[in-house]
């Protein structure tokens, strides 16, 4: 499989497209004014301990306090400055996992080292963990953790055994390490050098923590482009193309330090046609905002994102005869399974996901579809977990969510509907206006009224020579003038009294 990274650099945002065999599979967007914080390490101060939730809120210097659940209090909680001192001395204390309630582990005002595991989403603050780690080229280092392991993505047993032996040798006392996929086929010297670099970084973090007062940022994760460079080492990348001369130079310099051969894969795009247009990416990005995704078989996916979960419905347009109905359904569901996995990556959808495939009566067909989904999800860099088909024919799954989905990042709630996706029908809006006029007529304070409405509602009221409006006016016994105002919502109106020269919109609207 050919993997290409295409980067569009702009003063306001950077977009990174990941293509697999020429097809867009992932899109990473970073706005210049919104820096990602996942991976950052902070010296935080406990704001509140909530025994009922078995959680705490930690001030890390952001607008909202970070959320720390007891399940993320791994490796115990050590006084921040004692932990920092142990880092400086390169002998982190190995702590056992906590067994008591959170109120016995944390106190208000206590300073602790935490790392962000999830970006702030919607009204929720960032999620943090006390188990801090730093990723190097070949290993992930975790101070205070006794583990010495190998990434699950390395499947070869012989290689796993070799790497486990190496990490056990190069591991410093008090530092847990896990071999990354990039470490496959690397020798002991390469691992040792990587570990030494990270231990030195931990020492710097410890020194910074000792000289800081909470809240304070101690370690900032790489920017999105540098993180992409790091991924190139672990993936068999065909090319890294960018329309930024500066970025291409930085990328080459970064990769030369790791592997001079990788630097040759970096290319600077000089074409006059925008880079995403040249690679056919821009058109696919526009479709990310669509609720419906067409399938080649004639069916479609309908994706609905809610606060609690994401629902994906699989539809088929037609059946080809009764005898081939089951095969048609199987074909559509298999295609849908592959496209669902792609859309989850492309839209960066996380959390709970429920997929409603077309009903299948044959057990073997259900297994084939589930296996196809799991196989395709195996290419996803984000961890996923898929359950068996439920009695209702639904597939429930989870995908690790560390940031808002791409749709949430690229859009904002509709000013017309408030984000619901629906507005009152013209009939409902007209009925609401009629009730307003009836209430105004009963009060007899405002006999001459100018009502401003959206052009669509005006057209509805004035159809058939204005008989609907005439009926309303006669019933309320008012003199009403209708004006069009395209700035209003379809189901909104403004009423102005010519008698008292005031806005009376709120007086009679319940």
DSSP H/E element including 327 = helix 325-346
Tokens found for residue 354: 């429920």
Q: What is the structure's pLDDT at 404?
A: 79
Sketch the domain layout of the chain as residue ranges.
3-34+223-282, 40-219, 291-410, 426-503
Provide the 10 A C-beta neighbour count for residue 87: 27
Q: What is the structure's pLDDT at 242?
A: 93
Q: Do the domains spanning 40-219 and 426-503 agree at the CATH topology level? A: no
Residue 141 makes CB contacts below 8 A (sequence gap 6+) with: 133, 134, 135, 175, 176, 177, 195, 198, 199, 202
Q: What is the structure's pLDDT at 221?
A: 84
Q: What is the structure's pLDDT at 320?
A: 53
Tokens found for residue 367: 């297994």
Q: Give CA–CA dist 357/370, Å, rounded.
A: 10
Provide the 10 A C-beta neighbour count for residue 329: 22
Which whole-number Å values give the CA distances from 90 to 132, 145, 216, 429, in the listed order? Answer: 15, 13, 21, 70
Q: What is the CATH number of domain 426-503?
A: 3.40.1260.20
Q: Give CA–CA dist 376/369, Å, rounded.
A: 11
pLDDT means per 10 residues, the chain with 510 residues, are: 88 89 89 82 94 94 93 71 79 68 89 91 88 88 86 86 91 86 86 90 90 91 77 73 91 81 88 92 88 90 90 79 74 94 93 92 90 92 88 89 81 76 84 90 87 92 84 88 90 90 82
CATH of 3-34+223-282, picked from 2.140.10.30, 3.50.30.10, 3.30.420.40, 3.40.50.970, is 3.30.420.40
Q: What is the structure's pLDDT at 237?
A: 81
Nearest to 437 by CA among 497, 501, 483: 497
Do the beta carbons of residue 130 and residue 74 sit within 8 Å?
yes
- pTM here is 0.75
Q: Give CA–CA dist 258/193, Å, rounded.
A: 12
Q: What is the structure's pLDDT at 75?
A: 57
Q: What is the structure's pLDDT at 465?
A: 74
CATH of 40-219, picked from 3.40.50.620, 3.40.630.30, 2.20.25.10, 2.40.50.140, is 2.40.50.140
Do the beta carbons of residue 349 and residue 405 sit within 8 Å?
yes
Q: What is the structure's pLDDT at 283?
A: 86
**Ranges assigned E (strand) in 122-265:** 127-129, 134-135, 139-143, 148-150, 175-179, 216-219, 237-242
The radius of gyration computed from the CA coordinates of the chain, to the nearest angstrom, equals: 30
Q: What is the structure's pLDDT at 234?
A: 63
**Kindly report the CA angle at 28 between 151 and 373, in degrees rounded to 5?**
60
């Amino acid at each position: 499989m050919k993997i290409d990274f295409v980067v569009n650099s702009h003063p306001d945002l950077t977009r990174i497209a990941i293509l697999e065999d020429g097809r867009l599979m992932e899109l990473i967007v970073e706005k210049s004014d919104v820096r990602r914080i996942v991976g950052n390490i902070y010296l935080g101060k406990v704001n509140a301990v909530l025994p009922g939730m078995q959680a705490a809120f930690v001030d890390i210097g952001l607008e909202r306090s970070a959320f720390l659940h007891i399940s993320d209090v791994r490796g115990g909680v050590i006084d921040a400055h004692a932990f920092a001192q142990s880092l400086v001395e390169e002998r982190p204390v190995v702590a056992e996992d906590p067994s008591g309630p959170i109120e016995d582990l944390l106190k208000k005002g206590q300073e602790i080292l935490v790392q962000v595991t999830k970006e702030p989403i919607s009204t929720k603050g960032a999620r943090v963990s006390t188990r801090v780690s730093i990723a190097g080229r070949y290993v992930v280092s975790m101070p205070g953790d006794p583990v010495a392991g190998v990434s699950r993505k390395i499947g070869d047993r012989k290689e796993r055994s070799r790497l486990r032996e190496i990490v056990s040798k190069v591991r410093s006392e008090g530092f847990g390490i896990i071999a990354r996929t990039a470490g496959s086929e690397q020798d002991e010297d390469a691992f040792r050098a990587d570990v030494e670099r990270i231990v030195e970084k931990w020492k710097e973090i410890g020194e910074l923590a000792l000289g800081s007062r909470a809240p304070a940022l101690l370690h900032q994760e790489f920017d999105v482009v540098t993180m992409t460079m790091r991924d190139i080492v672990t993936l068999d990348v065909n090319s890294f193309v960018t329309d930024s001369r500066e970025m291409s130079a930085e990328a080459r310099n970064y990769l030369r330090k790791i592997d001079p051969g990788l630097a040759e894969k970096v290319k600077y795009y000089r074409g006059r046609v925008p880079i995403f247009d040249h690679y056919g990416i821009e058109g696919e990005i526009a479709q990310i905002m669509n609720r419906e995704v067409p399938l080649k078989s004639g069916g479609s996916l309908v994706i609905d994102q809610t606060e609690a979960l994401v629902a994906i419905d699989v539809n088929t347009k037609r059946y080809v005869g009764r005898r081939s109905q089951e095969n048609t359904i199987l074909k559509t569901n298999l295609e849908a399974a592959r496209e669902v996995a792609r859309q989850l990556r492309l839209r960066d959808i996380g959390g709970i996901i429920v997929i409603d495939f077309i009903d299948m009566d044959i057990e073997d067909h259900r297994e084939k579809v589930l296996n196809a989904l799991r196989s395709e999800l195996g290419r996803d860099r984000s961890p996923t977990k898929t359950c068996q088909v439920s009695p209702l024919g639904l597939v429930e799954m989870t995908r690790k969510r560390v940031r808002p989905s791409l749709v949430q990042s690229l859009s904002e709630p509709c000013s017309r509907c408030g984000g619901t996706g629906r507005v009152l029908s013209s009939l409902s809006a007209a009925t609401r206006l009629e009730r307003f006029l009836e209430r105004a007529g009963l009060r007899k304070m405002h006999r001459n009224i100018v009502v401003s409405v959206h052009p669509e509602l005006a057209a509805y009221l004035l159809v058939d020579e204005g008989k609907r409006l005439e009926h309303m006016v006669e019933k309320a016994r008012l003199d009403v003038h209708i004006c069009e105002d395209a700035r209003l919502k379809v189901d909104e109106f403004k009423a102005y009294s010519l008698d008292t020269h005031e806005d009376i919109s709120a007086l009679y609207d319940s």
